[in-house]
Amino acid sequence: MTKDELKIKFESLQEGLNFEEGTEWLTIPVESEGFKKFALLLRNDNELQFDYLFCLTAVDWKTHLSVVYHFSSTVFRHEVVIKVKIDKANPIVDTVCEIWRTAEFHEREAYDLLGVEFVGHPDLRRLFLTPDHEGFPLRKDYEDPINMIKL
Amino acid sequence: MLEEVGTNDQGDMIINVGPQHPSTHGVLHLVITLNGETIKKVEPHLGYIHRSIEKMCESLSYRQFIYVTSRMDYLSSHINNHGCALCVEKGMQIEIPTRAQVIRVLMDELTRLASHLLWWGALAMDLGAFTPFFYSFRERELINELMEDTCGARLTMNYIVPGGVMMDLHPDFQRKVKEFLKLFKSKIHEYDDLVTGNIIFQNRTKGVGYISKEDAISFGCTGPTGRGSGLSCDIRKLYPYEIYNQLQFDEVIETSGDSWARYKVRVGEMVQSMHIIEQLIDNIPEGEFQAKTKAVLKLPKGDFYTRVETARGELGVYIVSEGGSTPYRIKFRSPGFSNLSALDHMSRGGKIGDLMATMGTLDLVIPDIDR
């Protein structure tokens, strides 16, 4: 499906969705509440079949965090970007690693570097840093007086 | 983690492979749970070479951050640079000259060839055959030399920059590439004679490290790992960039999903890369090698994502820009990271002796995973 067709399809599936303007792929900001249900819809709807999660990351927007999912379908070759806005003080979002297994590592990375907590993840630990590390390096307010790289 | 070594409650043995193990090609640390010789679980421990490239890039300009990305997947540094340059060009809507496009594709394919050659030698060495390593390095050295002529470097090239390439080709480039192709054609049958047709090698790779097509998609396996499971995932074919849509080449796909299939895909890709270079080497158009760009590059506000096919699979570059001269957030979706996540699934139920064959055919480069 093209971007416009996808937009019509999504509007028919769920009411009250917003779409970001001026993006290459259809970009949908959603709330973290009910995200799991939405994710299952993406995977299982016959006309969507987003079976390939090719990028999962998070962005610190200072006031809040947003978790960004890039989905693609190996059947229809269309893409969609989902952005889940979450609270910085309580960074909770449902895990998707039973739906897309690649999320298991990607979510651990996002937890390690940005402190996003994925509820229901089977093994949410730090991936790169040591378990006793304090703070989340990719957040904008992270300070490390010894190893900080500033140019 | 030393304290994990020993026997657990169920009587399973826990051993460590790495971080200083010759077969992990770098500082990968695997904690393996074994029942006798059978693998119950493989748990990768990462971070030994994590440099936080994504954080570094946040304070580097769009001209500077290219240099850091050469240090990710150091065997396909051209292609890393290429992905980043494409992302910046997409954001700024820069049209690059045809000559630069052809040079970029030529360099990409030479890099892919060099990377696959190193993998071929190293895989055979992991499985106990020492000679192939010298054979493949003999050819790889020639590629390194002609890269050195043009880029001045042998590993971390930093040659592809936003707007084109850094400098024009060396006058000897075409002659040397042709010499290399002639030699490589006369040698490639040796690879099949030495390794592909070897019954010991076949027995050690066939049926080992199986992953189905559905699982390969779910785990996000791309590159030869995905194509070995019958998944069509070549970015050059699916979402052509530069001049790939004008070139004749095949996407090599095998369907058996085991280490043998991944081996066959890579060997087939070497031949395809050779075809691409042959098509281009006499047809490098005249003209500028770099588009005219401003001294300070500034991306408009928004998100930009590009995908390129490295020797290991799909590299994604995701730039979030706030309109400044540095990225607000940058994320590299590296192919090795997703491929490694499937290692546990692939090797469960297999023997520990087969783990090296599975890992070897995943072609892991650790700085690419750790970033």
Answer whether A70 sits within 8 Å of B316, measured CB to CB.
Answer: yes
Q: Tell me the three state secondary structure of residue B143.
A: helix
Query: In the prediction, which pLDDT does B2 show?
Result: 44
Contact B328, B322 (CB under 8 A): yes
Contact A138, A60 (CB under 8 A): yes
Q: In chain B, what are the domains?
A: 50-370 (1.10.645.10)
Query: In the prediction, which pLDDT does B318 show?
Result: 93
| Structure tokens belonging to residue B205 | 């790779």
Strands B314-321 and B302-309: antiparallel
Q: Mean pLDDT by 10-residue block, N- to C-terminus, for chain B (371 residues)?
A: 63 81 77 88 88 87 89 89 91 89 91 91 87 88 90 87 88 90 88 86 89 91 91 89 88 90 91 91 88 86 90 91 89 91 89 87 88 82
Rounded CA-CA distance A99/A52 in Å is: 10
Rounded CA-CA distance B101/B107 in Å is: 10
Answer whether B370 sits within 8 Å of A100, measured CB to CB.
Answer: no
Is this prediction's pTM over 0.90? no
Q: In what order do the strands lie in the sheet with B13-17?
A: B6-7, B13-17, B29-35, B38-45
Exposed (0-12), middle (13-18) or buried (19+): which is B302, by Cβ within 10 Å? middle
Rounded CA-CA distance B332/B76 in Å is: 14
Phi, psi of B30 (to 5 degrees): -115, 130
Residue in B218, B302, B320 closest to A22 by CB: B302
Which residues are CB-neighbours of A97 under 8 A, at least 6 positions away? A103, A104, A107, A118, A121, A122
Identity of the amino acid at A49: Q
Answer whether B59 sits within 8 Å of A22, measured CB to CB.
Answer: no
Chain B residues with beta carbon closer than 8 angstroms to that of A52: 217, 220
ipTM: 0.89
Contact B81, B70 (CB under 8 A): yes
| Structure tokens belonging to residue B82 | 């290429």
Answer whether A23 sits within 8 Å of B303, measured CB to CB.
Answer: yes
- In angstroms, what is the C-alpha Rg of chain B? 21
Please state which of the four CATH numbers 3.30.460.80, 1.10.540.10, 3.40.50.300, 1.10.12.10 is assigned to the domain occupying A3-91: 3.30.460.80
Chain A residues with at least one Cβ partner in B under 8 Å: 22-25, 27, 51-55, 57, 59-60, 68, 70, 74, 77, 81, 100-102, 104-106, 109, 113, 127-130, 137-138, 149-151
Query: In the prediction, which pLDDT does B5 show?
Result: 66
Query: In the prediction, which pLDDT does B1 show?
Result: 45
Chain B residues with at least one Cβ partner in A under 8 Å: 46-47, 50, 52, 54-56, 59-60, 215, 217-220, 231-233, 238, 302-305, 307, 314, 316, 318, 320, 328-329, 331, 333, 337-338, 340-342, 345, 370
B146-162 b/e (C-beta count within 10 Å ≥ 16 → b): bbeebbeeeebbbbbbb
Q: Tell me the three state secondary structure of residue B321.
A: strand
Which residues are CB-neighbours of B2 under 8 A, at least 6 positions away? B16
Give the residue from B85, B130, B125, B128 showing the smallest Cα distance to B103: B85
Q: Tell me the three state secondary structure of residue B361.
A: helix
Query: In the prediction, which pLDDT does B18 show?
Result: 74
Rounded CA-CA distance B167/B152 in Å is: 10
Place of tokens 């003080």: A89
Query: In the prediction, which pLDDT does B360 show?
Result: 86
How distant is the Cα of A129 from the closest Cα of chain B, in angstroms?
6
Give the number of other Cβ atoms within 10 Å of residue B282's Cβ.
9
**CA separation, residue A109 to residues A125, A134, A136, B127 (Å):** 9, 15, 11, 32
- Which residue ranges of chain A lie beneath pLDDT 70? 147-151
